[in-house]
Amino acid sequence: MKILTLSCWSNSIHFRLFNKDDFALIVLGSVERVGMGDSYLICIQPGQQKSTLHVDYCDHSSALALILDALTDVQQGVMASGQEIAAVGHRVAHGGEDFHNSVIIDEKTFSAIRSLRRLAPLHNTYNIAGIEAAREQLPDIPQIAVFDTAFHQTIPEHAFIYPLPYEWYENHAVRRYGFHGHAHLYLSRRAAALLGKEPAECNLVTIYLDRGVSLCAIRNGISIDTSMGMTPLEGAVMDTRCGDIDPGIITFEMKRGNLSAHELNLILNQKSGMFGITGKHYDRGQLVQEASDGNERCALALKIEAYRLKKYIGSYCAAVGPLDGVVFSYGSGCDDGLMRQLTLEGLDVFGLKLDLVKNRAPASCDREASISTADSTVGIFVIPSDEQLAFAEDVASILNNGCIDHVRHAYTFSRSGFVPNICSEEQELPE
Positions marked active-site? 148
At a CB cut-off of 8 Å and minimum separation 6, what does 334 contact?
284, 363, 365, 427
CA 9 to CA 123: how far, in whole Å? 6
CA 57 to CA 52: how far, in whole Å? 15
Q: Tell me the C-alpha to C-alpha distance, in Å, between residue 5 and each of 14, 64, 229, 252, 420.
A: 8, 11, 25, 43, 17
CA 119 to CA 127: how far, in whole Å? 13
**Nearest by Cα to 130 from 143, 148, 120:** 143
- 309 φ, ψ to 5°? -60, -40
CA 206 to CA 381: how far, in whole Å? 9
**Nearest by Cα to 232 from 288, 272, 281:** 272
339 within 8 A of 376, measured Cβ to Cβ:
no
At a CB cut-off of 8 Å and minimum separation 6, what does 304 contact?
237, 277
- 341 φ, ψ to 5°? -60, -45
